[in-house]
Structure 1
């Protein structure tokens, strides 16, 4: 059987199934036998190159000992993965969408991330992460729900996974006002700047650039975007929003434009060496 086109939803389904199988200690051979398929088919699905029938997914979920929430998510992803109708973008409205973004980031070979007014998530120190998320507690979710703690733990784990996973190139561009906007406290800001300097030092394949507030011609002004490239899958683009569901783009017309926007912002930004000097200089303010 020929491989199906890799789409965001098929890649998400595959990564979730791979994680559940690994956690259960089952092999691809065992999974294939459970649904009467060759292990090659399991490999195809786990790499986003196909989908499975609902009844096959149910058998695998039983085999993997999936929780009720995991079963609901996988079955819903399965419906999306089996769709053949063309679509412009994919909006992830399922619970724990941020977890699936982390899966994609961990498996990417290259990450390009532009933000305006805030340090990119993968560059945030633990103190900065907590301050950002605490500011949203009781606003975007019920303070009594315990979501703040869950989101803080997730963000830190997301960073660990992205940095510890397969070697990848990571390029970050953020606007200069992120250095001036106090998040948490001046102490938090100082530790955040030091964290970025240390991170860039420890990971030579990571590029950090700052876009001056006086720069003219920024095509991503006021926005934020993430471009993910994979060694064996199509490029995916993601435009973070302040509130609402997660929307992904995997059509070349969209992802090419998003990559061009990032590259243009990178061209306009200070060089990594100049950005490092500005970070060091900004420490004097805190």
Structure 2
């Protein structure tokens, strides 16, 4: 392993290796012994400040009991990306199981700032709502009757558990547009459950603040789009994230680009209803159902 500056690609690799090690129940010392390195080198790898050779990654995958060939190939590809010279521009995650790497970033963040338009964000979705979301896509975005919908539901539930059941949660700021609260997702009963779920989350998790952007509000330069910015305190620079329906999701780690995303987020945050007024609006819409 060679000492390296933290980049997005190296951070992705590090978070993946940490998740696999934790799942295997192995310590960093055991991992270091397996590849003949000091424990500090495994720490650096998992922190995204060191790269790893293909041989070392393969040894660690064997140690962690990773048998799935697709998953092993993905880690090797991540390692190759991490060893390359830093490049500019957004990073498009086109490797398999990209949703797992999003969850790794999410659960390691100390702060999450998210603007979601037209839909309730994944972390905030209630059980019946998230099933309705994937139900609308079944038979359209993927074949009906396959295992994909089950896998997507299980992953989203796991992703939620990683945040809501954690001993220490990040500071979370969410802006949701009013039309998402009034949407016809599933049924009126599903929407009522979803709205009460939002209220319960805010009550149980002081680190979470939800603000509603009213439909009548002017000054939204991101109409029709969504964004998320993850911050990591002293453990790394913030990372921006933007989804797309028919192309890979894009990650941004350029300082100016991420600063611009945060600037737009706070612009919309200030134009949204306060926490208390947002709660009152959610309660009012729920009573209408």
Q: TM-score when scaled to structure 1?
A: 0.96
Q: CA offsets, 1:1-42, max 9 Å, x none? A: 985222222112111111222222322122112222111000
- 1:54 alignment partner in structure 2: 54
Cα pair distance change 1:2/1:31, threshold 3 Å: closer
Matched residues, number: 286
Q: 1:280 aligns with which of 277, 280, 283?
A: 283
Q: Would the aligned equivalents of 2:117 and 2:226 in 1 still touch at CA under 8 Å?
A: yes
* Structure 1 unmatched runs, 5+: none
Aligned to 2:63: 63
Query: Would the aligned equivalents of 1:174 and 1:211 in 2 still touch at CA under 8 Å?
Result: yes
C-alpha RMSD over aligned residues: 1.4
Bigger mean CA deviation after superposition, 236-245 or 203-212:
236-245
Within the candidate set 225, 245, 250, 2:248 is matched to 245
**Cα distance in 1, alignment partners of residues 79 and 278 from structure 2:** 44
Counterparts of 1:85 and 1:169, CA distance in 2: 30
Conservation of the 8 A alpha-carbon contact between 2:2 and 2:50: no
Superposed, which structure 2 residues align to 1:62-81 within 5 Å? 62-67=62-67, 68-81=69-82
Q: TM-score, normalised by structure 2?
A: 0.95
Q: For 1:227, what is the secondary structure of its paired residue?
A: strand
Describe how 1:86-165 pairs up with structure 2 within 5 A.
86-165=87-166
Inter-partner Cα distance in structure 1 for 2:38 and 2:267? 46
Q: Name the CA distance, whole Å, in 2 between partners of 1:260 and 1:143.
A: 41
Question: Alignment partner of 1:111: what SS?
Answer: strand
Query: 1:235-258: CA deviations, max 9, x gaps?
Result: 010011122212101111111111
Partner of 1:222: 224
What are the ranges of 5 or more consecutive residues in structure 2 without an aligned counterpart? Answer: none
Check the 8 A contact 1:102/1:162 in 2, yes or no.
no
Q: CA–CA distance in 2 between the matches of 1:11 and 1:18?
A: 11
> 2:13 maps to what in 1?
13
